[in-house]
Structure 1
C-alpha cells in the first residue's frame, strides 16, 4: 500500500498541467518575413554558344530540396547577360459580405471585419485550407462564395456556440493571424 502511495506521489510530482505543451520553449517567437528574390544577372563564359538547360533547385515549405529542369537548347550570345526576374503576382482586390462579417482580400492579405472573438485557427491540407472559428451562438445555413485569387472559395457554417470560416487556398502557405480590435488580419507568405 505504501509503495502504491509513493508511486502515485512521484508521478504527481513529475506531471505537468498541459502534457501537450512543449518542455523547451523556442527562443525566437517573432515570425521573420521572408526576403523575396527579385532579379539576378548572369554572364556566361566566352565559350558558351548553346544554352542546353536551366536547373532550378528550390526548397519547399516542408524543407525538402527539389529541382526543376527546363530544356532550352537554343543559341545564345555570351556578350549579353541572362536575366532572371521574379515578379510577385498582384491579385485583384475582392470583398464579400457574409451574415456576421465582411471579408476583404488584398494581395496576399485577408481581413475579416467582425466584432466576434476568434476562438481558434488551424491549417489543413488536401485541399489546402485555413479554418477560423468565431464565438457566436448562431444557426445559419452553410454559405459558399467563390473567388478568383489565391483564395479559391470561402465556406461559412454554424455550430451551436460558434461559426466556422473555411478559406480554401490555391497552395500551401505560411501565414500569420493578427487579432485587431475590429476583426482579424491574416497575412500569407
Structure 2
C-alpha cells in the first residue's frame, strides 16, 4: 500500500499542467488574438474637416486606424501645400471621376479666364474714395494720399488713413459673402479713416497703383 501511494505521489510531481487552461501559456503571449465577432462599422463615404482661418500651408496629414486585432496604428503623408481655409478638407475612399471631355485650353480661353479673375466688384463708395474687391484683393480708388496703414485684431481689420480736411459723415456698409465683409469710414482732424473688417486672419501687402492703392491679402 505504501508503495502505491509513493508511486502516485511521484506521478503528480511529474505532471506539467497549466493552472487554468482557459488562459494563454507563457509561450503564447506574443500571439495576436482576433475575433470572429461581427463588428462592422458604417462604410466611409466622405468626412470633412474645417481648418482655422490662420491656416495657410498643409504640412502633413495623419490617419489613425484600428486593425483587425484591435491594435491602433497611424499613417502620415508629408504635403507642404497651400490651402484656402474657407474650404474644408475632405476624406473619402472613392476615386474622383475624371472628365474625359477635357479639351486643351486655347490662348483665348486662358485670356478670358484671366479677365474673369481680375474682375472687381464695387463694395463701398463715398465722395473721396471707392472700394473694389476681387477675391483677396482690395482696390481703393482715390486721389488722396494714404498717410498710414495697419492691421488690428478682434475683429481682424485693415485701417487706412487718407490725408484730407473734410466734413464727411460716418459711413458703414456691410458686404455679405465677401472676404472684406464690412467697410467703415469716419472723419478725423486732417484725415479720414477707412476701416475694412475681414472674415478671418490675414497678412497683407499695400502698394500704390495708378488710380489709388491696392491691398493684397495672403
| TM-score, normalising length: structure 1 | 0.54
Of 176, 181, 185 in structure 1, the residue corresponding to residue 205 of structure 2 is 176
Whose radius of gyration is greater, 1 or 2? 2
Structure 1 runs, 4 residues or longer, greater than 6 Å off:
52-56, 65-71
Q: Is 1:109 aligned to 2:137, yes or no?
A: yes
Look up the SS of the partner of 1:140 in the other structure.
coil
Output the CA distance in 1 between the equivalents of 2:128 and 2:200.
27
CA distance in structure 1 between the aligned counterparts of 2:214 and 2:130, rounded to whole angstroms: 12
CA distance in 2, matches of 1:100, 1:67: 47
Greater RCO, CA 8 A, separation 6+: 1
Q: Say if 2:191 is the partner of 1:162.
A: yes
Gapped regions of structure 1 (runs ≥ 5): 1-49, 82-89
Pairs aligned (count):
128
- Give the CA RMSD over aligned residues: 4.0
1:69: how far off? Answer: 9.3
Measured after TM superposition, the shift of residue 113 of structure 1 is 0.6
User: Which structure has more helix as a fraction of its residues?
Assistant: 2
Larger strand fraction of residues: 1
Change (3 A) 1:75 1:94: closer
TM-score (norm 2): 0.48
- For residue 152 of structure 1, report the CA deviation from its aligned partner: 1.1
Query: In structure 1, what is the equivalent of residue 148 of structure 2?
Result: 120
Equivalent in 88, 97, 101 of residue 125 of structure 2 = 97
